[in-house]
Amino acid sequence: MLAMPQPDPFLQPEDPTAAAAIAAIGEDLALFDDWMERYQYIIELGRKLPPFPEAWADDAHRVPGCQSKVWMEAEKRDGRLYLAGASDAAIVAGLVALLLRVYSGRTPAEIIATEPVFLKEFGLLEALSTNRGNGIAAMARRIRDAAAHYA
């Protein structure tokens, strides 16, 4: 039997720029009246992430500083950095999805130029526990470090 080709684990951008992705996320979050609804929305985003290869769920891909287990991988294609990510916690997988929506498929220069201040502006850091806030900051750092490496 032939092996089925694996789906691409790297998130493809749905917005033309990081700034457009941030604006779209802001609009989506504004639709909800309270944080419980926003959390549900974020959890749903995590469920829609492309499948993350099991072979990458290792220490080499693990993001240090996260309370939950988080794994990320980056690959440069045609001058753009594509990102894959996963977590063992539903809300954190959703936060991974938010970061990937903003940063995956962008040039290293655009990633470096796009500070993750939107996390604070949308109230995401304040709405999370301190450990989760530190973890999402660690994820954003990992993405920006990868962009700097490929720049």
Average pLDDT over residues 75-95: 95
**Phi and psi (nearest 5°) for 141?**
-60, -45
Which positions are catalytic?
A: 66
Q: Taking the domain 18-150, which CATH number applies? A: 3.90.1010.10
Instruction: Indicate whether 44 pLDDT > 60.
Output: yes
Q: What is the pLDDT of residue 70?
A: 95
Query: What does each C-alpha distance from 73 to 38, 53, 76 come to in angstroms?
Result: 26, 10, 10
**CA-CA distance, 121 to 72, in Å (whole number)?**
24
**Rounded to whole angstroms, how far apart are CA atoms 121 and 102?**
14
Residue 49 reports pLDDT greater than 60: yes
pLDDT of residue 4: 60
pTM score? 0.92
Query: Looking at residues 32-55, what average pLDDT do you find?
Result: 94
Q: What is the mean pLDDT of residues 44-72?
A: 94
Nearby residues of 67 by Cβ (< 8 Å), 6 or more positions away: 129, 131, 132, 134, 135
